[in-house]
Amino acid sequence: MISTEESAESWPLVRLGALVQFKSGDAISGEKIRDEGDYPVFGGGGFRGYTDTYNTMGDRALVGRQGALCGNVTFARSRFFATEHSLVAHPRTAFDARWLAFLLEAMNLRQYSMSAAQPGLAAENLAQLRVPVPLIAEQEAIAEFLDRETAEIDAFIADQEELIALLTERRAATISHAVIRGLDPSAQTAPTGVNWLGDIPSHWTVRSAIAIGRTFGSEPIAEDELASEGVIAFLKVSSLSSSSLQLESIDWYVNDSQRAVTGEFVVFPKRGAAIFGNKVNVATGPAVIDPNLMGWQLFPSNSPRYFAYVLKCVRLEELADVSTVPQINVKHLRELRLPVPPVDEQVRIAHHIDREVGELDAAIADASEAIALSRERRAALISAAVSGKIDVRSAA
């Protein structure tokens, strides 16, 4: 983020409202936005698709004005349609529009939102902000420098995001192949008659989920029963991880040993939007689970880790009733047919997946870190250039 103290001493501080007039775009229905069309559509989060008409002409900076994308900055050229979720910066005087977009990006406009619950930017408040304004020739030099430098960074970020997508696909395929086909490529297979399974090794069986383990839940827990320390963990939806079988965190504990479950068990969300996160974890008791979670304790001679990976493949949203509020009931598990290898194979498969997925997760983490560092470098570069800390003429 830039501040007025960082700007070049020779650059005057000017009210943003003297440079531009911020106006909201227009409402447009989703069916009018298509994959192809004559004019691009830009909303609070940037490009959304194409439509048949335009409401803005010229090079403009756009600012997301509400919600999660509040303060997001986009740059659009020529003729385009700006939606009601964006504020369009219409010029009052001459300046380089690309420079302005970089300047607004460096200002972290979200900090000026009027509400924390539902962030929103008011055009009149933005107009009062004072910004350093160099001569147009310097604006053009800054914009040209940042266009070139950020394009390289953006290309690297796009490559890393593509790599993460490929690794994530490979991760899912690794789990699916192991839990359905096993580790022996020469094993004879037999059809199961279950659509999502297909053929499995012929010495495996297929059973209902409730024949493999018992399900359990919990009654609501009063707030005064929770403590920040203790022996019996209280697991909430926020305790679960979507990236691994391990719990994300345990923040609360209870003292009610009568409701506690001991030993290892599988736990996952059973209602609400959390189902779509496909969070399936393996926990170890003693523990009590939140009423929004379902526990699944495997009967002896079954591996919780293996069947947790099986549930990952099933995907919770495919299992749930989503006609109203997404929900998973015992009836869904009663109808669910799962592959059951001998227990020694279950253990070997789970260990194999742990190892293979661990390597893929490490590669994904490295790529994610590279993206985060690149975005930090991009933000720092923009801030330094628009505040005059970098002499872009010498940099060029």
For residue 287, the tally of other CB atoms under 10 A from its CB is: 25
pLDDT of residue 220: 86
Topology of domain 205-340, CATH: Adenine-n6-DNA-methyltransferase TaqI; Chain A, domain 2 (3.90.220)
Domain 4-133 CATH class label? alpha beta
pLDDT of residue 67: 84
pLDDT of residue 255: 87
For residue 310, the tally of other CB atoms under 10 A from its CB is: 27
* Tally of CA atoms within 13 A in the half-sphere of 389 that contains its CB: 13
Query: What is the rounded CA–CA span in Å between residue 72 and residue 2?
Result: 16
**Per DSSP, what are the bridge partners of residue 340?**
205
pLDDT of residue 5: 46
pLDDT of residue 68: 83
pLDDT of residue 42: 96
Compute the radius of gyration of the chain from its Cα atoms: 27
Phi, psi (5° rounding) for residue 39?
A: -135, 135
Write down the domain spans for the chain.
4-133, 136-186+342-396, 205-340
C-beta of residue 40 within 8 angstroms of C-beta of residue 54: no
| Mean pLDDT for back-to-back runs of 10 residues, the chain (396 residues) | 57 95 94 93 94 96 90 95 95 96 95 77 92 95 96 97 97 96 95 94 96 92 87 94 92 87 95 92 94 95 96 90 84 94 97 96 96 97 93 67
CATH architecture of 136-186+342-396: Orthogonal Bundle (1.10)
Decide whether 4-133 matches 205-340 in CATH topology: yes
